[in-house]
Structures are given as C-alpha cells and as structure tokens.
Amino acid sequence: MTTLKNSLLIFGILFVFSCSSDNNEPIVNNGTEANLIIKFKFDPTQVRLDNVGQPATVSAGNAAQSPIFERMSANYIELAPTATTALGQGEIIFMGPETTQGGSAAIDFQNASFAGNNETFMTIPLSDVTSGDYKWVRVSLAYQEGNIDLLANGNDITGTLGSFIGYNSYITSFDLNGNTFTVNENKLQGFWAFEALGFATQGQAPEGATTVPNPLFDSSPIPQGSCVVTGEFVTPFTITGNETEDVEVVLSFSVNNSFEWTEVNADGKYEPSAGEQLVDMGVRGLIPSVN
C-alpha cells in the first residue's frame, strides 16, 4: 500500500489535479479464497454525460458516433465511501505500472493490463480490501481501442482507432491491425493512432478533447488532464470481511456517441479529408454494479 500511495502522490503532483500485439493478460489471483472480480463493459445505449456528470447531447454543429470498442486499459481504481472523499483517500484497489523511462512519470503502456467487453480486468482477494460501505468508484482510464466509421474519397470505410487517454503514457511501440507504430517517448493525454485498409496515421487531439464525467465535480474535483471517471453504485457496495464467495463488480462505461467531431458536410459522417476535426474521444459515463 505504501508503494501505491507514493505513486498516487506523484500522480497528483503531476496534475495538481478519458488489435494490439501487446497482449497482456488480466491481473488474476489464483488462490482459493473469495475474490473481488472487476469486469469491463462498453455500453452504446447508456446515458451520455458531460464532464460534471449531467446528461449531454451532441453540440450544435457537431456529429458523433458510438465506437465499437475492442478493449480498454485502466491504471487506477479506487472505491470511495462518500461524495466528499477526496481522490486518493478512498480504498485503492488497483494501481498500474508506471515508469520514468521517458522522463517524467508516466503510465507504462508496455506492461499495462487490458480487458474487452464483458471481460475480467482484474481479480484480487477480498481480504485485501478494507471492509466497509462504498458508494462511488473512480477509474483512471489509460487506453481505448476500437472501430470507427468514416467517409474517405466518397467511400464508407471502417478503421481502428487507438486512443491514449491517460494523463501521460510512455510508449515504446504498439500495433494496430499489423501496422506498428514506434514511439519511444512519453505522450500526454490525447495521443492517437489510426489504421484503415493498410493506411496508418497518428496525431495529438486538442487539449480538453477527452470528456471525463465526474458527478462529484463540486465535492471531489478531479485534476485537469487526468482521465479519472467517477461512477455511483445504485446501492452502496458493502464488504463485510466475512465473504465466502467471489464478488463481481461490473464497470459499465458509456460509449454513447463518445467520438465527436465538427461537421463541415452536414451528413453525420466523419470525413477528415473535408476538414472535419475531432473534438472528443472520451467515455461518457460510468455505472458500477455488483453481481
């Protein structure tokens, strides 16, 4: 826990405070005791929220689509008992690997863990989690990868987008559909790469182009430039310390029109060659549930 808190301190100072060949397996405990299992879910029908956790429509003059996400990665998960629990003061159940190889502290992408839709991201013994009632969960997302549709030279095509939405990521290289992107440096939130029909490109989204819903905006603010998404349990998640069976928590992320761009041709199709610009690529909410 000391290592986690030290890493979190670095994390906070940095902000003052949104298929690859990197095929890492989920973090799994293979013991026989009761476990806490964390799964990911990507829901295109879930309510679409803004940065302060309020329902939001697509801005006038823009268009959006719901990507078909293949996988995501997170580098931090925290359970919080109350709406006033400050970031880092709850129960930290996961802290992903970080590195200073690129200079400043950053998420170590090469050693990150990933999960697809309805897949397990991590499993830890319930005995490692402090007993209590938890009303909220915070998840710092690091990477998302999936398919988007676009219009190119009059043709409707589908391509794969890899988005680095964590606060800072050290990347050596990664792969999208057989195309290798060599980076070997730190990249701030918003770095992306795209592949379609053998064409590959990369770039940096504008600052603030990653929506990070936080319904606790007033009582527990999140640092600018982070991707710590906050979600509320319908009823408090209770850990008694006497559990004899595994407990499964599903983290359902809203991908409802989460990829948004400015329209030049008002046809609802993303057409970069016409000058249509990406304005958002974050998730649009988090609803945790207990099975």
pLDDT of residue 245: 96
Rounded Cα gap, residues 124 and 52, in angstroms = 31
State the chain's mean pLDDT as an integer: 89
pTM for the full predicted model: 0.87
**What would the mean pLDDT of 150-179 be, rounded to a whole number?**
95
Listed residue (135, 114, 64) closest to 284, CA to CA = 64
Q: Which two tokens stand for residue 230?
A: 């906050």
* Residue pLDDT, tens place only, 131-157: 999 999 999 999 999 999 999 989 999
pLDDT tier at 226, thresholds 50, 70, 90: confident
Adjacent-strand bridge partners of 248: 37
pLDDT for 68 beyond 80: yes
Listed residue (87, 115, 160) closest to 253, CA to CA = 115
pLDDT for 19 beyond 70: no
166 contacts 138 by C-beta, under 8 angstroms = no
pLDDT for 3 beyond 80: no
Rounded Cα gap, residues 197 and 209, in angstroms = 26
**What would the mean pLDDT of 169-187 be, rounded to a whole number?**
96
pLDDT tier at 18, thresholds 50, 70, 90: very low
pLDDT for 234 beyond 90: yes
Counts of helices then strands in the chain (DSSP H, E): 1, 18
pLDDT tier at 106, thresholds 50, 70, 90: very high
pLDDT tier at 2, thresholds 50, 70, 90: very low
pLDDT for 76 beyond 90: yes
Percent of the chain with pLDDT over 70: 89
pLDDT for 10 beyond 50: no
